[in-house]
Amino acid sequence: MWFTGHSLGGALAMLAGARMYLEEPRLQADGIYTYGQPRTCDRTLADAYNKGLKDRAFRFVNNNDIVPQMPPEPAFTHAESLRYIDSSGKLHTSMSLLGGLADRAKGLTADPLAPASDGVRDHSIKRYIAALETNVT
């Protein structure tokens, strides 16, 4: 079974995969792919999810997408498995703190007429699809 979703759908996909695993550990999702998912769990659930599903879960975040930054930490957190799409559309399996901050600044300044709109533009599923298509081919 595969779970996937964008935005709230990503949060629901993550929770469905986690619930299936936690209620019956022999049943594991074949894959969980989320795009622009908000923070969905507390540290306890994130730890259990990471332990059981780390190699099957992939959380994609497009540069300055505002939704994955909500709700605020520390009450809510993300599980591991980040796949970061930088401001140039390149996919990364990891990103250093300084590299991520520099790339986020680059994304914010990409449109000098509307710098604050980058977080909303980056949330579009069309941008996720375009970035993933360029990284696959």
pLDDT digits (tens, 9 = 90+) for 60-104: 999 989 999 999 888 899 999 999 999 889 999 887 777 777 877
Q: Judge whether residue 109 has pLDDT over 80.
A: no
Mean pLDDT of the chain: 89
- Total-model pTM: 0.88
Give the per-residue pLDDT at 137: 65
- pLDDT band, residue 118 (cuts 50/70/90): confident
Q: What is the enclosing helix (H) or strand (E) of 50?
A: helix 43-53
Alpha carbon separation from 7 to 51, 54, 65, 128 (Å, rounded) = 23, 20, 10, 11
Q: What is the enclosing helix (H) or strand (E) of 83?
A: strand 82-85
